[in-house]
Amino acid sequence: MVADQSAAQVPLLEGRGLTRIYRMGDTEVAALRGVDFRIDLGENVAIIGPSGSGKSTLLHILGLLDRQSAGQYLFAGVDTDTLDDDRLAVLRNRAIGFIFQSFNLVSGESALENVASPLVYAGVKRRERLDRAQESLVRVGLGDRLHHDPSQLSGGQRQRVAIARALVTRPALILADEPTGNLDSHSSAEVFALLEQLQDQGLTLVTITHDQRIANRAQRILRVEDGSLIDGNAGDSSYLDHAEQGVS
Ligand SMILES: Nc1ncnc2c1ncn2[C@@H]1O[C@H](COP(=O)(O)OP(=O)(O)OP(=O)(O)O)[C@@H](O)[C@H]1O
Ligand SMILES: [Mg+2]
């Protein structure tokens, strides 16, 4: 996956002093207070921490959905401040797949159409879009649900459609915000197994989670606390205890 040795030394994602301040009238909320990190290609990283600590804020910046207020965010070695909104949108569409707690599927559109939608923005022709969407749905075990509306699917199946949609552009990076947060234990297990497969296939995974299995499986845990980042080892159970306490 890595073109040459110099590329191997550049982290896929790097934050330097990342700060995000939300301004609402006269009040300011410092959601991130100068965080530093590097995430390499192929890593599986879990982000944990209490509610309101800044996890989603961080993930939105990682996913180029939001920009930091100060500090630098480098994507594959490129300083994202040098990219205009159009270039960021292209990079986001080609390189990143998103999975959210609430699935974010469009009702009134079939599973197939939902999964194909990122390819519309990528300029892929309709026939190829549908072929690739079908391939992606087969990959998540939903080859027999192509024409179902999201409302006709179980929660776990909806999240698998969302995962198929995240994979359809063949991204290098998957960002997930509480992917099992709305699921019962059976559906969580299905989604967990799928995330495990993606890791085995070499995708870079960054997952915000309160799910101990997902955190256990990560190679590295980033703990966010009051807008600051504490880098931990996945084997250190005190981080997981903390994740459990942080359930909102
Ligand atoms: N759009 C916004 N405008 C103003 N403040 C915001 C905005 N989004 C988040 N915040 C504030 O920033 C802080 C961090 O929020 P964030 O959503 O990143 O937390 P989180 O760690 O993802 O929490 P949770 O586990 O509950 O999802 C919180 O204090 C929140 O109230
Ligand atoms: Mg959040």
Q: Is 165 in the pocket of ligand 1 (CB under 6 A)?
A: no
Ligand 1 atom nearest the C-alpha of 227 is 14
Summarize pLDDT for 82-112 with one digit per residue, the tens: 999 999 999 999 999 999 999 999 999 999 9
Whole-number pLDDT of residue 9? 81
Q: Where are the domains of the chain?
A: 43-67+86-245
Residue-wise over 104-141: b if at least 16 C-beta within 10 A, else e?
Answer: ebeeeebbbbbbbbbbeeeebeeeebbebbbebbebbe
CA angle in degrees (0–180, nearest 5) for 210-196-89: 80
- The CA distance from 65 to 67, in Å, is 7
Whole-number pLDDT of residue 230? 87
Residue-wise over 162-191: b if at least 16 C-beta within 10 A, else e?
Answer: bbbbbbbbebbbbbbbbbbbbbeeebbebb
CATH code at 43-67+86-245: 3.40.50.300
* Residue 110 phi, psi (nearest 5): -65, 165
Instruction: Show the low-confidence residues of the chain (pLDDT under 70).
Output: 1-8, 232-248
Q: Ligand 1 centre from 181 Cα, in Å?
A: 17
Whole-number pLDDT of residue 179? 94
Hey, whose CA ends up nearest to atom 17 of ligand 1? 56
Ligand 1 atom nearest the C-alpha of 58 is 18
Q: Ligand 2 centre from 117 Cα, in Å?
A: 25
- The CA distance from 55 to 59, in Å, is 6
